[in-house]
Amino acid sequence: MGQGFRFMNGIRTIDVHHNIFGCNSNCGVERVFYESNKEMEKLKVSNLYDNYYFANRRDLEIAAPGAATISVPAARIEEAEQIGPKYERNMELPAGNDAFIQAIDQPYLEGFMTLKIIQSQSYDANSAANQVNRLFGLNQQGTEIVRPSMYCNKYPWEKAKDLFGKVAGYGAQIPQ
């Protein structure tokens, strides 16, 4: 669904730390209000600390039903009320991690970084289908065409192991 990690409901305390969230088409981390009860939502502890972010569309996304989505860059995660009490040291992947960037499958990275999405929409309120739908109180209909230049391209799993241990203490590490 385009995110690296999603804080889910039904879990009271979640600690997310020492990860590298990279190349996510939606967001590195998503914090959404899922709990049906506001009191239960208040009990949720969403710790997000000591993480690196690399080339995500958004680093942190905060969303609630019926409300606008808030996009939070890594450097400002400590300002998000929904995150914490631990929220320190979230940042963009620091310079000097060339080994990590070079280990990323280059065709995949290039495809992701040059992603283009072309879309078109069509809605005719006076079409025969929409006139009948209005008569019966049904939803109106339209069409949408979306053409991304990179579609469902999974990262080549054979090359994923090349990323292990490229950034000391962050992301997947080679077992000692």
The two structure tokens encoding residue 168: 């000391």
What is the predicted pLDDT for the residue at 36? 66
What is the predicted pLDDT for the residue at 103? 94
44 in a domain, yes or no? yes
What is the predicted pLDDT for the residue at 176? 79
Q: Which of 25-39, 96-110, 121-135, 152-166 has the lowest mean pLDDT?
A: 25-39
Asked if the model's pLDDT at residue 27 lies above 90, the reply is yes
- Residues spanned by the domain of 92: 3-97
48 in a domain, yes or no? yes
Domain count, the chain: 2
User: In the structure, what pLDDT confidence band is assigned to residue 35 with cuts at 50, 70 and 90?
Assistant: low
> Same structural domain for residues 12 and 90?
yes
**pLDDT (mean) for 73-77:** 96
Asked if the model's pLDDT at residue 38 lies above 80, the reply is no
Distance separating alpha carbons of residues 142 and 123, to the nearest angstrom: 4
Asked if the model's pLDDT at residue 67 lies above 70, the reply is yes
176 in a domain, yes or no? no
> Same structural domain for residues 71 and 23?
yes
DSSP 139: P
3-state secondary structure of 100: helix
What is the predicted pLDDT for the residue at 76? 96
**pLDDT (mean) for 41-66:** 90
The two structure tokens encoding residue 53: 């972010």
∠ CA 55-33-10, nearest 5°, is 105
Which helix (H) or strand (E) segment is 14 a member of?
strand 13-17
The overall average pLDDT reported for the chain is 90
**pLDDT (mean) for 66-82:** 90
CB 145 within 8 A of CB 151: no
> Same structural domain for residues 38 and 77?
yes
What is the predicted pLDDT for the residue at 2? 81
> Same structural domain for residues 71 and 20?
yes
CB 60 within 8 A of CB 78: no
